[in-house]
């Protein structure tokens, strides 16, 4: 089927390729006109037959809001907008209502898979009504991996982004569990070949996973990870997951600890630890570093 796709960066560009390889007609638009199939949103709308389906794949937050609002100006009643970016789930219901007033349907889709999705397919978590989901199913079929997994209709508006948010929260926890184990192995006097141990777990073990495969891959390239700094950004979903855990009274020690470790990794110095050092010095005369 025909699809408009806005945002042709790392994710959107790969998705266009995967969709075209599956035989779909994709009209892409990007601010970078060099990679764009349309010269403007208006041009994009003109190039698509109604009822149109347009997928946005742009950074979450104001850019997505502005893009969708501008898009709504050039679309027609009966058209569908799908937001596949990492929007916060609380944006979806008001957005869906706003678009519904113009007769435009809305779905939110959480998309997982990173740079590997082009080849392996993307896991898709969809929020929206059943009819609109069914209408767009050929697109989802092309983007998801072959086989029975990789797609869920999670619920109404917001459920797709919510599921993706929790997915990423879990991802933080998984990564940090491996990371702590890796650090213990590295610190151990007994284990002589850490990368070999990691590699051994890739089959037969209880901890085998795609993330473990990637850790092995990273260690193949750099067995001590010597070329990397222990510094990690976070991109919103981890924070929202902790906020949701707090709102819903779910004990989320692991996911929050993973998030906090990323915060700490970005601090040049820790105000909290200054306070601890100050206290130790005050009561015990313990030496401090200045």
Instruction: Identify any residues that bridge with 53 across adjacent strands, giving them in sequence order.
Output: 80
Residue 44 Cβ vs a second copy, minimum distance, rounded to whole Å: 26
Residue 171 designated active-site: yes
Choice between 74 and 232, CB closer to a second copy: 232
Q: Is residue 284 classed as helix, strand or coil in its secondary structure?
A: helix
Indicate which residue of 25, 47, 171, 199 is catalytic: 171
Length of the chain: 290
Residue 43 Cβ vs a second copy, minimum distance, rounded to whole Å: 29
Instruction: Identify any residues that bridge with 105 across adjacent strands, giving them in sequence order.
Output: 80
β-pair type (123-127, 105-112): antiparallel
Choice between 43 and 129, CB closer to a second copy: 129
- Of the candidates 85, 82, 77, 37, the residue with the CA atom closest to the CA atom of residue 57: 85
Choice between 42 and 288, CB closer to a second copy: 288
Indicate which residue of 164, 221, 244, 289 is catalytic: 164
Choice between 25 and 171, CB closer to a second copy: 171
56 φ, ψ (degrees, to nearest 5): -100, 140
Choice between 37 and 108, CB closer to a second copy: 108
Q: How many whole angstroms separate alpha carbon 187 and alpha carbon 287?
A: 26
DSSP structure string for 87-116: --GGGHHHHHHHHHTTT-EEEEEEEE-GGG
Residue 198 Cβ vs a second copy, minimum distance, rounded to whole Å: 8
Residue 224 designated active-site: no
Residue 70 Cβ vs a second copy, minimum distance, rounded to whole Å: 27
Residue 276 Cβ vs a second copy, minimum distance, rounded to whole Å: 5
Buried b (16+ CB within 10 A) or exposed e, 120-135: bbbbbbbbbeeebbeb
Residues tagged active-site: 164, 171
């Amino acid at each position: 089927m025909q699809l408009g796709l806005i945002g042709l960066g790392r994710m959107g560009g790969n998705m266009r390729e995967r969709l075209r390889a599956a035989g779909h007609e994709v009209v892409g638009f990007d601010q970078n006109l060099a990679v764009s199939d349309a010269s403007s949103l208006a041009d994009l709308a003109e190039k698509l037959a109604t009822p149109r389906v347009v997928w946005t794949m742009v950074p979450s937050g104001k850019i997505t809001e502005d893009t969708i609002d501008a898009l709504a100006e050039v679309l027609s009643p009966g058209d569908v907008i799908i937001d596949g970016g990492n929007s916060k789930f609380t944006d979806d219901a008001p957005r869906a209502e706003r678009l519904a007033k113009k007769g435009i349907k809305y779905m939110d889709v959480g998309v997982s898979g990173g740079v590997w999705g082009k080849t392996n397919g993307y896991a898709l978590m969809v929020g929206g009504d059943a009819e609109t989901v069914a209408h767009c199913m050929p697109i989802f079929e092309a983007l998801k991996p072959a086989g029975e997994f990789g797609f869920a209709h999670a619920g109404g508006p917001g459920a797709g982004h919510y599921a993706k948010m929790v997915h990423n929260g879990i991802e933080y926890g998984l990564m940090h569990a491996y990371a702590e184990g890796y650090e213990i192995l590295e610190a151990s006097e007994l284990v002589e070949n850490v990368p070999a141990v990691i590699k051994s777990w890739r089959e037969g073990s209880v901890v085998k996973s795609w993330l473990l495969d990637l850790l092995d891959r990273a260690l193949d390239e750099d067995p001590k990870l010597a070329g990397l700094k222990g510094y990690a950004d976070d991109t919103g979903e981890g924070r929202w997951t902790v906020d949701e855990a707090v709102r819903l009274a779910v004990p989320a020690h692991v996911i929050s600890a993973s998030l906090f470790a990323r915060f700490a990794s970005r601090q040049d110095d820790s105000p909290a630890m200054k306070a601890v050092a100050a206290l130790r010095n005050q009561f015990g005369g313990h030496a401090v570093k200045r």
